[in-house]
Each structure stands twice: as structure tokens, then as C-alpha cells.
A and B are shown apart, each in its own frame.
Chain A
Amino acid sequence: MSKVLMKGNEAIAEAAIRAGCRHYFGYPITPQTEIAAYMAKRMPKIGGTFLQAESEISAINMVYGVSSAGYRVMTSSSSPGVSLKQEGISYLAGSDLPALVVNVQRGGPGLGGIQPSQSDYFQATKGGGHGDYHLIVLAPASVQEMADLTVKAFELSDKYRMPAMLLADGTMGQMMEPVELPAENSGKTYEKPWAVRGTENKREHNIINSLYLVPEQLEVKNLERYERYKEVEKNETLVEEYLTDDADICVVAFGIAARVSKNAINAAREKGIKVGLIRPITLWPFPSEAIAKAAEKVKGFISVELSMGQMIDDIRLAESCKKPVVLCSRVGGMIPSPEQVLKAIEDMEGGER
């Protein structure tokens, strides 16, 4: 396969199509509108459905419908729009339905702005809507990963019957890089005997539902779901480690923050500072083991985020507060510079050398 030059948003859309997604419902919002624009162009040519809904709430409920029928389906938005979708996401989780929700984050809270951010981390990884549930949350750090993790998200979502979220940010959505697209019909598919697509008088009909008025039954549903979540935590955690073998200091960062951090880490290494990076690729399940292992030998952690400090809580939980964890961040649409991260590394090392 040869490479093409793509925007991150386009890569998500094309990868979704190649993973067999033929149904897209959305509502435009910067900085993810290219996903919808790409789908609008491509879907009619391949017999798929592109539908611009009247709102994000409407779009997520259309996703619920198509997923119930057993087809791969997605929606995408940016932060304020994803907040609107939360009720529907909770319903998907409560009905054990697979679906892909893409969040190309922008600054918040409220309408915020259109520049990049990672401040929806809590919303994505801690539930977001009401009730006990998790999403599989994948965090791409390149246009290539925007494509690859889209396919992965559909696979995992179908495998575990739970919604998945691709948590990107504005820079990932807008930047252009060479990408090798996944092959057509790529990604594992799974039988969906639970789907509502006609009984042909051969079986009892399936019911897709999140309403359980008998508390004993609802408790069982929740317990079953959390058994599945344990499997996901055991089998599906993805993490990249960069120069951690001999590291005294460990930077933890995902998405664009991880790329900035790698520049800073290389600069620090040139100054003789032993520093490495743990880059969570799945934010839920969070790579707690890798963090706990690093805590045995490093003197501290630096959480580099485009938020006021959200992932930092998961780092502290993972290493049981054994070592100090400091935050290095910019917010409101700003991105930490490699120099800022380098300074945080030098401060932890003990000042300028």
C-alpha cells in the first residue's frame, strides 16, 4: 500500500468506511467538521448513509437505532457537541450496544473556543453520562493512528458490546501527515445474534433496552457489565513506552502532548538527563501497570496535558502516590511548548545543569 497525505479528520472518516461503517450521523462543529464533509462526499458513492441530523442529540439516537440493527455506525463531534450526546451514550452503554463516538476536543468549558484541548479526559474516561459504565477510550497521537485506532475502536466495541470513543484534539484533527490507509474490509467482525433485524419466524425476538424496573435485574445487568469491563482491562490496554528503561524521570502524556514531550525528552537526554515517556494509547483502560512499574524506579512523574490536570489523578491512583506527580500544562486552546516541558523535566532533575 502506498501512502497518501491526509488530515486527521479525513483519516478517521476513510478508516471508518474501510472498517465497514456505512452509517454516519452528525452535526457540524469545528474542529471536526471535515469528518462530516468527507462522509457526505463518500457515503453516497458506496451505498452508505450520511445524515446531517438536526442536533447532536438526534444524531446519537440515530446511532442507537442503527447499532440495535447490528450495523457498524458512528458519530463525531467536538467537546460541546459531545456533551450533548452524553444521554445517548449512557443509553448505548445501558443497552450494551457497540458504536464509535469521535471527540475532536476543543477548549472549554461551555462553548469555549475552537483551538485544541484535552480537557474532556474526565468526561471520556469516567463515564460522562449517568450511571455506572465505561467507554473504551483511544487516544491517537498521529494521523496514522487516527486511521488505525478508528479500526481498532470498531473491533473492540463490537467484541465487548460497548461504545468506544476516539479522543483526539483539534491539532490531530486538522494536521496533515502521510498515512497508510487500512485495507478495505479491515478489522475483525463479530457475529451479532442479539441484533434486531427480523426473526424470520425462526427465533424469539430480540429486545434492545436499558430500562429495568426490577432492581434485582438491573443489579445483575450492572454486575455482568463490570465482569466484561474487567476483561477489557485485562486484555486491551495499549501503551507506548519511550526511553523508559533507564529513566529517572517519567513523563506521562497522550495525543499531541506526547509529541511535544518527545521533543523535550530528546532535548533533555542531550543534556544528560535520564527521562522517558509513558504514552497511554488507551485512556480507558488506563495503563496503570506500566505506571506502577515505573514508580518502582523513577523519582517522579510529570503529567503533560492540555487541561488543568485530569489524567494526573489516574497517574497518582496507578502509582498509589508513591512518587511525586507534577503537572505541566496549557489550557484554553494553548499547547505546551517543548521548552516548557523541558523546564519541568529540569526542575524535577534539580534545576538547570
Chain B
Amino acid sequence: MSMHKRVTLFAGHYGSGKTNLAVNWALGLKKQGGRVVIADLDIVNPYFRTKDSAALLEENGIEVVSPEFANSNVDLPALPAELYGVVQNRQRYAVMDIGGDDRGAVALGRYAPYILEENDFEMIFVANFMRPLTLTPADALEVMREIEQAGGIPFTSIVNNTNLGPLTEPETVLSGLEKCRELSALCGLPILFTSARRDIASKLNISPLLPIDIQRKYYEIL
């Protein structure tokens, strides 16, 4: 994972772990030097947002562009003008967190022409095969096609982010990888890497593997 595209887009079924992965990806990119901007295009999810990690990102020198009203009490899914800067200013790496499903990907359509013209992007399908509406590779393929239709950018690769939240086991990740291979065969796209929570990743002997940190934790079930 040394030669990175300028723009990395994370899209997929909602709840697949896109936001968390995008935050981890941006932090990793920044460590390798250069300017990094992370853009939150999620206009469908009201609660769990890139902005939740804004302090951490900014401390690490990463620019954050998110909808003005994200995480506020205002239900106004407007996108900020700065987003054009993310796709037009080619001087920095851009990480784009796309909203879930085709409904979330609609917002990408506005920026798709700039991204396609520059043609230096990785459009990643984040797969979590523990989600009830994407339990099979065929389900995932359907979601993939819907997102491409809505967002106007074809996927270029798959990331296996299969997890069951706090109950994730190494086997959970491996069974997801198996399904990603089937999905890869169906759609012809490569699997870029597998991502897993740091403690799970340490028990996995697969490559390439990206250990990730969970950005936000909620009250555990007691």
C-alpha cells in the first residue's frame, strides 16, 4: 500500500464501517507525510459521523470537511462549498467518506465528474458480511451496483471489513474474506486489503491486513 491514489473513496452498505475505516486511513496517510484532507459526504446518517473524530484528526494535522450541521440538532443534509476544494485542489491527498447505500452515494454525483476527469482515485467497496442485508456476495453485488448508479463512479476495489462489533472473532474476519473472494470473482475487482480491530488483527495471519482502532465507543451492554 505504498503508491496511493490521490483520492480514496469509501462507500458501501450503511453500517459496513466506512467512517471508521476512512478515519483510520486518513491517519495512516498522514503518517507517510504530505497534506491530507478527509471529507464527510454522509447526508443520511444523523448520529455517527466523521465529525465525531474531528478533534483527533485535527490534532494529527488532517483537514476535516464535513456538513455544517453534522452532529447538531439540525436535520439539514447540506454539503459545504469546501467540498469542491477537495476534488479540485490536487495538492493534497483526499479521503472521502460516502454515505451508506445508494441513498448516501447520491451526494457523490456532484463531485464525480471532477474525480473521473483527474482519474487518480481508488473507489473502495467496504464489505461487512455480518450485516443482514449483505449476508451473501450476491447481496453485496446488488448494493455495489446501486451505489455505482447513484454515485456515478465505478468501484475499483474491495476491502474486507467484516465484523460483528464487540463480538468479532478472527473467524468472523476470515469468513468475510472468503465471501469477499467470491464477490471479487463475481465483479472482477481485486481485494485491496482486510481491516480488523487491532487486537483481532494481531491474531490473523493474512496479508495485506490493516489493523484499525475503533473511533467511538458506546455504552457497553451490561
Contacts and interface: CB of A to CB of B under 8 A. Distances in A.
Interface in A1-28: 3-7, 10, 14
Interface in A39-92: 41
Interface in B154-178: 163-167
Given A113-B74, A114-B75, A177 B165 contact: yes
Interface stretch (B87-95, B108-116, B127-135, B181-189): B127-135
Contact of B131 (A5, A260, A263): A5
Interface in A129-149: 142, 144
B103 interface: yes
Given A171-B218, A259-B222, A333-B73, A37 B103 contact: yes
B25 to A, nearest CB: 20
B222 to A, nearest CB: 4
Nearest to B15: A176
B75 A178 contact: no
Nearest to B219: A259
A181 interface: yes
A266 interface: yes
A186 interface: no
B46 interface: yes
Interface string A98-126: 00000000010000111100000000000
Contact of B135 (A4, A176, A262, A333): A4
A181 B45 CA distance: 23
Q: Do most interface residues of chain A lie in helix, strand or loop, or is the interface mixed?
A: mixed
B222 A263 contact: yes
A14 B135 CA distance: 14
Interface string A25-39: 000001100000110
B127 to A, nearest CB: 12
Interface string B202-220: 0000000000000000111
Nearest to A116: B47
A171 B47 contact: yes
Q: Do most interface residues of chain B lie in helix, strand or loop, or is the interface mixed?
A: loop
B84 interface: no
Contacts of B132: 4, 6, 10, 14, 181
Contact of A5 (B45, B48, B73, B164): B164
A130 B130 CA distance: 44
Contacts of A266: 222
A170 B47 contact: yes
A308 interface: no
A256 interface: yes
B207 to A, nearest CB: 25
B1 interface: no
Interface in B47-65: 47-48
A263 B219 contact: yes
Contacts of B164: 3-5, 178
A174 interface: yes
B131 A4 contact: yes
A332 B135 CA distance: 37
A178 B128 CA distance: 13
Interface string B102-126: 0100000000000000000000000
Contacts of A321: none
A260 B165 contact: no
Contacts of A338: 219
A338 B130 CA distance: 30
B73 A114 contact: yes
A175 B218 contact: yes
A333 B130 CA distance: 30
Contact of B73 (A113, A178, A263): A113
Interface in B18-49: 45-48
B133 A41 contact: yes
B166 A178 contact: yes
Nearest to A38: B133
Contacts of B46: 30-31, 114, 170, 174
Interface of A: 3-7, 10, 14, 30-31, 37-38, 41, 107, 112-115, 142, 144, 170-171, 174-178, 181, 242, 256, 259-260, 262-263, 266, 332-333, 338
Given A115-B47, A178-B165, 20 more contacts: A3-B164, A4-B130, A4-B135, A4-B164, A5-B163, A5-B164, A7-B15, A10-B132, A37-B103, A113-B72, A113-B75, A114-B46, A142-B221, A174-B46, A176-B15, A177-B221, A178-B130, A178-B166, A259-B221, A333-B73
14 contacts: A4-B131, A5-B15, A6-B131, A7-B15, A30-B46, A113-B72, A113-B74, A170-B47, A175-B218, A176-B15, A176-B165, A259-B219, A260-B219, A332-B73
Interface of B: 14-15, 45-48, 72-75, 103, 128, 130-133, 135, 163-167, 218-222
